[in-house]
Every structure is written in C-alpha cells, then in structure tokens.
Amino acid sequence: METNKKPGNWRARTLAVRGGQARSPFQETSEGLFLTSGYAYDSATQAQGRFTGEDEGYQYTRFSNPTIDTFEARMAALEGAPVARATASGMAAVSTALLAGVSSGDHVVAAKAMFGSCRTVIAEILPRFGVTHTLVDGGDLNAWREAMRPNTRMLFLETPSNPTLDIVDIRQVAAIADERGARLIVDNAFASPALQRPMELGAHIVVHSTTKWIDGQGRCLGGVILCHEDFLKDHLQSFIRNTGPVMSPFNAWVHLKSLETLDLRMRAHCANALAVAEFLSGRKQVRRVIYPFLPSHPRHVLAQAQMSGGGGVVSFEVEGGKQGAFALQDALALIDISNNLGDAKSLITHPETTTHSKLPPEARAELGIAPGLLRLSVGLEDAADICDDLERALAAV
C-alpha cells in the first residue's frame, strides 16, 4: 500500500485526521481495518525473500500490520517523532521502552511521582534483572543531577503525574540526560500530543497509555512508544518482534478514528476540567484542589509554558480523609466510580485504595496521596451537570 497523499506542511489538526493514511486499491475513505494475523505469499521464493528482507512486505502481525502502521505513522506525526511502535497497553509501552533500553548493571533515574505500575516496573521488576534505580523529586533538578551515575542509561518521568499532577521541566531534565549520554523517557499519557509534545522539548522517547485520552471513549487498551531511528534499530525492533507486546489491529483502528477528534475533545475536556477545578476551589469541604492551569498550582507557570491546556484530570482532597472521600463517591449520581481515566464520561477514583494501593504508605504520604485525595477525570458532559453532581455529593462529606 502506498501513502496516497503527501503530508507537506500539514498542521497538527490535519495530521490527526490524515496522517499516515495508506489506501488499499479499493480507495476507501475511512482507514482500512486489516484484522489478519498473517499474509499469503505468491511463491515460496517470495516467502523466503520476506524473511531475508530482500522482499519488502508484510510477514506476520506480531512484526507489522497495515492498520497498526497507519496508527504508528499518525502518532509519530502528531508527536513530532521519527518513529513509533504501538503496544497492547500503556504498561506494555512503559515496560518495553525501559527493558529494551537497559542491560544488567545499568541504572535508571525516575521522578517518584508516577503511576503505581510504572513504579513497580522500575523499583521491583528491573532490579530482578540487575538494573538499579534512584527515585528523585522530579521538580528538583539538582536531585536529578546528583542521582546520575556513569552507568545511568535511562531517565523516566511522568508530567502531569498520576494522580498528583506534578509538573516536571522536560527541557531541563532532557538536558541532564544529554550531558551524560542517557535517554529521557516521558510518559505523556495525561497530556496527550494535543497538549504537550515532549520530543520538541528534548525528550528522547515518549510513551503513552493510548487507553486514556487517545481512545477517549473507554473502549480499547493500547500504548505507543515514540523514539528516534537509532533506538528503534539498536534496542526496540528486535525486542518487540521477539517478545510480542504488540497492539491488536482492531484497537489500532479504533484509536485511529479517535485521533481524528483528539484536538476537539481535549479542548472540551480542558475547558470542563478548569470549570470543575474553579468550582471545587471555593468549597468548604475541599482542602485543596490540584489542576496545572490553576494559579494555585505550584508549577503553574511551567505548566503553561510546556502545555497548551491543563488536561482533563482534576485531583482534590476532601475533609474527613478516606471516610470523606468514600462518602463523596457514594453520593455521586452522574460521575462514575472507576479507576480508568480519559473517557467521555466523568470518572472518579480514590488513589489510596485503588491505583496507588500497592505503594507502601510512606511512599504515598511522600507523594501527597493523602487519604482524602480523589482523582477526577472530567468528561464531556455539560460542566454544569458535573458541578451539580459534585455539589450534591460534597454535602455528604
């Protein structure tokens, strides 16, 4: 299949609709869904050629697939990345990017404010393979510098982080990685490429849980790794082909259709989230509200410099600790209690007892995951209805 339209200087919103599209001879307008595991060859010689690399073409969907290729090309265009590889989930993207890039004896430095499973990969799984780590306060540039060792290969950070919405200076941390010949991986799941493009700020690798804002409607798990050609060639390609954490073509197709509306959706999510954050800020039952685009956020200026919108997640701490947080959730009528995020439907979760429940209590306390903290993924419903629901539920706190 050929890419029939040449991207030229298309802007991001056009790339989100058109990027990477390769039409089959049927000239379909919507992207084709190639739900196939294998490909037939014209001859035994052609099959052999595919495996030696002399004959370009598809071999097996664990290696590549036209629908997945289109999704990868579109994601790469949106992130401004040379190449992309789609994975079965966000955690497959995080763990593959890390594992493919390190060997026994290497060292990783990571910002400690991150999703619970990312921390498990770095602090529990990598050490089993002889890879050590140092966790730092992501906002403390000296801590990053001091943590670097001659064997540091990878730096990892999430910005905004899950669930405390910490903002880390991507440009500065990327410069520290560059000084020492290491690579910085940025988990961009909370912002999506519609709001933040870490590679333009110097990140070497970007990972996403496409399950979140990229799918946008809570249907399909997925992930993606965006990087430079050399990382793909020297580390990722063989790792992915042989360990097989690949995305299903069906999920790639759903995500492709989602990308067409990503920009529109993210603008609406950001507007709703800001309205909800402002509404919560004035309530007596609410101890603190965390939202990157509120002036009360400690890194508000940096957030506005590196993101074009505050994102769709608002975290807030209610009075009464866990009891208060549970009472609020149980009193909601519109917002669903769910640990997913990035859906058209508003979803709320209590990180202490769900997404971050496996962390030791001291680690949660250090990250600011208080017993009264709630993470709200603000959906696309009318903001007034979301605020009304919260208003009613706050009365139960």
Q: Which residues bind ligand PLP (CB under 6 A)?
A: 89-91, 94, 115, 117-118, 158, 162, 187, 189-190, 209, 211, 221, 223
How far apart CA 187 and CA 385 sit, in angstroms, is 31
Shortest distance (Å) from residue 43 CB to ligand PLP: 41
> For residues 395 and 319, is the Cβ–Cβ distance under 8 A?
no
- Residue 31 or residue 187: which is nearer to ligand PLP going by CB? 187
- Residue 106 or residue 187: which is nearer to ligand PLP going by CB? 187
- Residue 115 or residue 291: which is nearer to ligand PLP going by CB? 115
Residues forming a β-bridge with 349: 375
Nearest CA among 160, 161, 388, 379 for reference residue 271: 379
How far apart CA 90 and CA 237 sit, in angstroms, is 18
Shortest distance (Å) from residue 90 CB to ligand PLP: 2
> For residues 369 and 359, is the Cβ–Cβ distance under 8 A?
yes
Shortest distance (Å) from residue 118 CB to ligand PLP: 6
Q: What is the dihedral of CA 80, 86, 90, 93, to 10 degrees?
A: -80
Nearest CA among 114, 247, 265 for reference residue 189: 114
Shortest distance (Å) from residue 59 CB to ligand PLP: 27
What DSSP designation does 43 have? S
Nearest CA among 121, 106, 31, 87 for reference residue 227: 87
Strands 152-158 and 107-111: parallel
- Residue 135 or residue 394: which is nearer to ligand PLP going by CB? 135
Shortest distance (Å) from residue 387 CB to ligand PLP: 24
Shortest distance (Å) from residue 383 CB to ligand PLP: 23
- Residue 154 or residue 221: which is nearer to ligand PLP going by CB? 221
- Residue 79 or residue 324: which is nearer to ligand PLP going by CB? 79
Strands 336-337 and 83-87: unpaired
- Residue 50 or residue 265: which is nearer to ligand PLP going by CB? 265
The answer to whether the bond into 163 is cis (omega within 30° of 0) is yes
How far apart CA 12 and CA 211 sit, in angstroms, is 21
The span from the first CA to the last CA of the chain, in angstroms, equals 58
- 3-class SS of residue 287: strand
Q: Which residue is nearest to ligand PLP (CB)?
A: 90
Shortest distance (Å) from residue 33 CB to ligand PLP: 21
- Residue 211 or residue 258: which is nearer to ligand PLP going by CB? 211
Shortest distance (Å) from residue 283 CB to ligand PLP: 26
Which amino acid is residue 183, in one-letter code? R
Which ranges in the chain belong to alpha helices (H)? Answer: 12-18, 44-52, 66-79, 90-101, 116-120, 141-147, 170-179, 229-231, 237-243, 249-259, 262-281, 300-306, 321-330, 361-367, 383-394
How far apart CA 220 and CA 279 sit, in angstroms, is 31
Shortest distance (Å) from residue 255 CB to ligand PLP: 12
- Residue 89 or residue 272: which is nearer to ligand PLP going by CB? 89
- Residue 191 or residue 274: which is nearer to ligand PLP going by CB? 191
How far apart CA 73 and CA 82 sit, in angstroms, is 9
Shortest distance (Å) from residue 190 CB to ligand PLP: 6
